[in-house]
Amino acid sequence: MPVLLDAGHLASKYHCWTYCRSNGYKYFGLQDGTMCTCGNAYGRHGQVVDSDCNKPCRGDSSITCGGHMKNEIFITGIQPWDANVTRQGCFKAGNDSSTDLPLVQRTGSSTRRQHCWQFCESRGYRYFGLQSGDLCACGNSVRRLGQVDDAECNVRCRGFAGETCGGENHTEVFTTGVGAWDSVITSLGCFEDRADRDMVQMFHAKENCHKYFCWNYCRSKGYMYFGLQSGSWCTCGNVFSRFKRKNISECSTPCKGDPTTNCGGTMRNQLFMSGINQWEKQVTSLGCFEVSPNNRSIPVVHRANSFDAGRRYCWHYCRSRSYKYFAVRDELTCLCANWYDRFGLVEKSGCGDDCMKTNRRTSSVDTTRDTIEAFHTGIEVWETAVTRLGCFLDVENSRDFPVHLDAGNKLTKKFCWSYCQARGHKYFALQNRRHCYCGGAYGRHGGADDSECSERCRGDTSTTCGGELRNEVFSTGIGDW
């Protein structure tokens, strides 16, 4: 296979499939536990017995990822490149930025239809065109300058004489097969960034950076928001706007992958909604409940500072901390708990408007009575047994928990829970991004503020894994046995 990627701790069948499929390959392979291989042909060196492909994947030890110099091969399911390509005809070519196809690349001796399709399709354009045998152009509209007779597009492609590639001053136009992907995204504006990054994930896309690439990258990882920064960076996250909004003119650096569009600026995120709404499908309204200011039905309170909380923000905040239920108050306050209904159900009308219709500025709280609308976070089945117990001190020479595993890049909340629960421990703890602890008791060194358990997990940067000598403690769901 011609393409080889060392995926390290991310290596899994899904990761390699996504990588190879996104790069247009028909086949993907797993090798030596950590490698992804991609190609459009395989088997030159012969087949071996399945037992030779027995190395566990570093990213998912429950499945195999080939063997030493042995490829475990799969079909990506990708269609032939031209399955969704339709010829639109021959058109007059423009000579300025107002043309139908504004992004232009002179491809010289490598010019052929497939190469031009790949260049434009990977950038999210709906049409590609070929001109004069050696020029490729991309855009989202056609026919502005008018269609002409097909005989005007009779110049052979310099990279493959079996195809025509337009004509002198005429463009042969095709569809790329890309749909109206930009109809699902919403521009949010230009925002300041700092050394303490606003978005949890950054990816240096370099020459591949453009809006379509970053949208695909962040959306494929399940993020609700994506951003463009400094012309070459993608940023992703489920919350944003900790820092100031800036004038859109400060997000005017051309994208390295498509200089006809902008990709943020220096320490400036040009942000968009990715269009992912799966979170809404996991949220279930439980009804409207009375609360007491001094004895809340949902007791954990989080103020969102300058960020306008909204239901989506609070859902993510509570769910990422393993809470089963959440509510929103006064547009800036999230409430989280593992129980509700302490003070009784009231009429749904007592909780005001249905804030599911909007993403922000939604409180679901009656201004005339002290009520909240409670929701289920949709937390996974394994998480329903888990209760977050807080942040606690640890001492280097007198550990609070007896069982320790340095999980390194594998550490996630689920990984540590599974490790401790399988060994019969009542509690598990996450410490300093990479350490998992298990035991039957906790807290003998005292508690700490939640802000001291703010380090991101090495295996899942969307959640926290304690801090330095700080245990973020949870129950496993196991009772006294």
More confident residue, 320 or 454: 454
More confident residue, 313 or 172: 172
Average pLDDT over every residue of 89-100:
71
More confident residue, 19 or 271: 271
d(CA 278, CA 274): 11
More confident residue, 118 or 229: 229
Q: Which two tokens stand for residue 120?
A: 């434009």
3-state SS class at 103: strand
pLDDT of residue 359: 32
pLDDT of residue 434: 94
More confident residue, 185 or 295: 185
pLDDT of residue 222: 67
d(CA 275, CA 270): 16
Architecture field, domain 87-175 = 3-Layer(bba) Sandwich (3.50)
Q: Assess contact for 145 and 92: CB atoms under 8 A.
A: yes
Instruction: Work out the pLDDT band at 286, boundaries 50, 70, 90.
Output: confident
Listed residue (329, 290, 296) closest to 310, CA to CA: 329
**Residue-range domain boundaries for the chain:** 3-75, 87-175, 183-221+231-273, 278-379, 383-475
Judged against a pLDDT cut of 70, whether residue 297 lies above it is answered with no
* Residues 6 or more apart whose Cβ sits within 8 Å of residue 161: none
Size of the chain in residues: 481
3-state SS class at 115: helix
Judged against a pLDDT cut of 90, whether residue 331 lies above it is answered with no
d(CA 240, CA 313): 9
Judged against a pLDDT cut of 80, whether residue 418 lies above it is answered with yes
pLDDT, one tens digit per residue, over 351-386 is 554 333 233 333 343 434 567 777 888 766 566 678
d(CA 412, CA 165): 52
Listed residue (472, 428, 429) closest to 450, CA to CA: 472
Amino acid at 219: R
Instruction: Work out the pLDDT band at 99, boundaries 50, 70, 90.
Output: low
pLDDT of residue 310: 62
pTM > 0.75:
no
pLDDT, one tens digit per residue, over 104-131 is 888 888 899 989 998 998 888 889 999 9
